[in-house]
Amino acid sequence: MSREDEIRQGLYDGTLYGKAPQVKALTEEALAMGMAPLDILFGPLIPALEEVGRRFELGEYFVPEMIIAAKAMQEALKLLRPLLAQTGAKPIGQVVIATVKGDMHDIGKNLVIMMLEGAGFNVIDLGVNTSVDKIVKAVQDHQPQLLGFSAFLTTTMPMFKVNMDALEKAGLRDKVKVMVGGAPVTQEYSDKMGADGYAATASATVHLAKALMVSMGYDISSAPAVSAETEAAVAAVEGLMQTWDEVESGTQKTA
């Protein structure tokens, strides 16, 4: 077995069994050896997630196993995302994005970032469990056209309004368009919170971001198209995450 084959097997097993440090180290080694990001993603990683989903459906895996597998996959995505999104084009706009205070979920957010970067946006990622002060400061420092909030839990969704109220108090709310999303979020809730837009998927977020840029008078005609490979990769992971969203929100079996 070649070293590349060993790495593929190690990435598959590491993702399947939730060994995040192993997945990160092997992804770094794979990239250093010149393995293609798409080969890494579609070779071992997505098949491993598909196997996680299969085991869940059979009752062999439960929520804890799914969460650690997702976190392992995330370590690889952090390294692959900028490579998959490279276009060489001048950014068409700037986006600050964050998972709100009290929420540690970010796989969906990372998929959105991958798509936005592929569409020509420069994205500043504030991470998870992001404080109100950090968000306000980021808007002040980076002066983005767009601001994205992600929430995976119904208990953290009210932070959308808290954040927007803080932006209003700081005199920044009318200087940035706010997009919201996340598994439990709906268009109705977005409207109620006073957001400028809601998107249910990473692909939809790109369309929303472009529409908001146009509404502000920006010319985005030079925006690159997201590569078919990146769209396929994101769609594949989103499809797997849909089941997981239902699991963690309590609409499917747990343990």
pLDDT band at 240 (very low <50, low <70, confident <90, very high): low
Residues 115 and 202 in one domain: yes
Residues 110 and 141 in one domain: yes
Residues 204 and 133 in one domain: yes
Domain, as residue range, for 122:
93-215
Residue 235 lies in a domain: no
Residue 244 lies in a domain: no
Q: Which of 44, 59, 85 is the last residue of a domain?
A: 85
pLDDT band at 255 (very low <50, low <70, confident <90, very high): very low
Chain mean pLDDT for the chain: 87
pLDDT of 254: 41
Q: What is the mean pLDDT of residues 8-36?
A: 96
**How many distinct structural domains can be found in the chain?**
2
pLDDT band at 69 (very low <50, low <70, confident <90, very high): confident
> Is residue 11 within 8 Å of residue 75, measured between CB atoms?
no
Reference 206, options 185, 183, 187, 234; nearest CA is: 234
pLDDT of 253: 43
Residues 128 and 147 in one domain: yes
Name the token pair of 61: 């895996």
Residues 120 and 80 in one domain: no
- Write the burial class of residue 165 (CB in 10 Å: 0-12 exposed, 13-18 middle, 19+ buried): middle
pLDDT of 65: 85
CATH of the domain at 106: 3.40.50.280
Q: What is the mean pLDDT of residues 59-69?
A: 82
